[in-house]
Structure 1
Amino acid sequence: MAGKHPLTRADRWVATGIFVGTCAVFGLGLGGLSYGMFDRGAHSLLAATIGGAAGGLVFGFGMTFAIIASWRAGGGRATVVAINRAVRVGALPADADPAAWLPVLARRLEEARRWKLSNPLIFATVAVVGIGTAIAVRNPVYTIVMLGLAAVIIGITLWSVATRRRREQSILALIEELEARRGLDDGARPVPGNRDEGEDGTDGRAARIR
């Protein structure tokens, strides 16, 4: 589907929930981390509150914008959710439309191959920087938090590498099945000039039987 899919009212409500939830989680996390780094006075509380609110808004807006863009480019939220489920379980639903699904899956396959090497490298770099910062900054709370985040990032990296190949294979299998479905649909349509088609557009074989 080449055009941008319009958002429904339900899509807007879901996007609003994503924005609010992301802002709250990221803002509270960033604010708590900032407050733990300082002396916990009134000034540090104000700075942590402002920093958490600003960071939460920026991160929430960015995440929500990216999700909405994926919905619009992928044929709508319902289609994107169905495609995500199909990739995860490795099976197509009976009502999957090849015209809507194939462009999205082809784009995802290209993205998966492009990020195969860069994603682990980015995560590893962030983890190394976090560990180095935790060692350099002599603050127990900050050190514990940064080491915990580094451990989480390393875990995500290992999980990403382990599941990337399986995801690629699942997308390829879905693309092949959709192309086979499209071929069957095209073959089922009557072709003008077919020897089995009557002059009035009816099936010539049925006319001969009658």
Structure 2
Amino acid sequence: MKEFWVRTLRRTPKWVLLLVAAALYALYSLGEKLLTGEQVRPGHVVGAVFAGVVVAAAGFLTVRWQSRRDSKKPPGSLTATNFERALASGNLPGDAEADDWVPKLHRAIRTERIMAWAGPLLFGGFTVMGIFLAVTNPDYPWFWVLVTGIFAATAIWYPRWVRRRRVKLEALIDHFSGGGKHVSEIR
């Protein structure tokens, strides 16, 4: 299923993706106003669409800049794009060198160990804050109810995601023969 979406996004013209991203941002911005009880005027719509185009364009320019910067490096080098592709596919780039990749993979595992407990605490705190805001705004609590549900789901889902990502990181380390210390030896 993921391959279908990747192929679809790669075939879709960039201007269509920009318009979709701008529309989603505008929908979020206007939806927030409606769900919190504010009046939506034509000026708000124009402002939300304009802000959506600006935010989407900034995102696309950032991605383009990063891909150009990454394309100047050798194919197996450690870049953010290569790192994420390796994690998603489970395969390292053909020219990947253990001296570059293994320390980065170990560092990612150490970071994820902290995030395994910090992430649920953070999103749990946001959930509590959302409940407080929904209760203190009884006339229009729907935005905060929706946001609270999203934060609660993220707090529950996050530890599972971190565990799955850790297994993928360990598998990438195992691709290197004699790739340094094993994950269990890192403290």
| TM-score (norm. length: structure 1) | 0.56
Q: Residue 108 of structure 1 aligns with which residue?
A: 108
The aligned amino acid for 2:29 is L
State how far apart, in whole Å, the 1-side matches of 2:96 and 2:44 are.
51
- Partner in structure 2 of residue 32 of structure 1: 31
Alignment of 1:144 with 2:142, yes or no, is yes
- Residues 69-88 of structure 1, C-alpha deviations (whole Å, 9 max, x = no match): 598494374x34531323xx
Residue 29 of structure 1, CA deviation: 0.8
Tell me which structure has the larger Cα radius of gyration.
1
Moved over 6 A (4+): 13-18
**Aligned alpha-carbon RMSD (Å):** 4.1
In the alignment, the residues of structure 2 paired with residue 133 and residue 25 of structure 1 have an alpha-carbon distance, to the nearest angstrom, of: 24
Superimposed CA distance per residue, residues 158-200 of structure 1 (whole angstroms, 9 cap, x where no aligned partner): 1111231232132123213224479xxxxxxxxxxxxxxxxxx
Report the CA distance shift for 1:25/1:39 in structure 2 as closer, same or farther (over 3 A). closer
State the one-letter code of the partner of 1:83. A
Whether the 8 Å contact between 2:134 and 2:145 is mirrored in structure 1 is yes
Aligned to 1:97, the other structure's residue is in SS state coil
Distance 1:154 1:64, change over 3 A: farther
Query: 1: CA distance between counterparts of 2:30 and 2:40?
Result: 14
**In the alignment, which residue of structure 2 is the partner of 1:206?**
none
2:79 counterpart (75, 79, 83): 75
Q: Is the 8 A contact 1:19 1:64 kept in 2?
A: no
Structure 2's unaligned 5+ residue stretches are 1-9, 71-76, 181-187
Shift, 1:122, TM fit: 1.7
Q: 1:54 matched to which residue of 2?
A: 51
**CA–CA distance in 1 between the matches of 2:101 and 2:16?**
26
- Encode CA deviations 1:119-177: one digit per residue, 9 max, x unaligned: 2122112222122111111334xx12321221122112211112312321321232132
Contact 2:18 2:60 (8 Å CA) reproduced: yes
